[in-house]
Amino acid sequence: MTNRSLDENNYKRLEDDMVEGKECFVLEVVPNAEIKSTYSKHITWVEKETLIAIKEESYDLGGNLRKKKMFPFFEPLSGYNVISNIFVEDIQKNHTTKLTMGDKKVDSGLDKNFFPGKKFKTSTSKINFLIFGT
């Protein structure tokens, strides 16, 4: 997962869709030409009620489906929606990965400077959001 900066990508809203009974906005995200990406585009399904991404497809530079990602389980924790499972299917390598988060804590006193910006450039904003809600 990368930081999909608004100025480094082009966004297009596609036709709304349903995923497992949930109404979703569908977005196409295409990296700008000067961005070094191994993907030509991403299609992301965002649940309308929660505005949380629950599904994503990523396409290689040839336009072929490379990965399918599902983010099906979020649970409320101290006022935050915290992800508990991620499923990734690499279509081209015929491989799947399931990541399960256990013993989740929020607002636990972790210093924001624990993650230096340069070292985690593409994910710092997402980490800050997930941990601190900012």
Domains and CATH numbers, the chain: 6-104 (2.50.20.10)
The CA dihedral of 61, 58, 87, 46, to the nearest 10 degrees, is 170
Q: What is residue 71's predicted lDDT score, i.e. its pLDDT?
A: 86
pLDDT of residue 123: 44
In this structure, what DSSP letter does residue 107 have?
A: S
pLDDT given for residue 118 in this prediction: 57
Instruction: Provide the pLDDT for residue 103.
Output: 80
DSSP state for residue 117 in the 8-state scheme: T
Q: How many C-alpha atoms does 17 have within 13 Å on its Cβ side? A: 16
2 burial level (CB within 10 Å; 0-12, 13-18, 19+): middle
| Residue 112 φ then ψ, to 5° | -60, -30
What secondary structure letter does DSSP report for 7? G
Would you give per-residue pLDDT tens digits along the chain (134 residues)? 446 777 889 999 999 999 999 999 999 999 998 888 899 999 999 999 988 889 999 999 999 999 999 987 777 777 777 777 889 999 999 999 998 887 877 778 877 777 666 555 544 444 444 433 43
Model's pTM, two decimal places? 0.73
Instruction: Say if residues 81 and 75 touch (Cβ distance below 8 Å).
Output: yes
Determine the pLDDT at residue 57.
Answer: 97
C-alpha 91/C-alpha 134 separation (Å) is: 34
SS3 label, residue 5:
coil
pLDDT of residue 119: 54
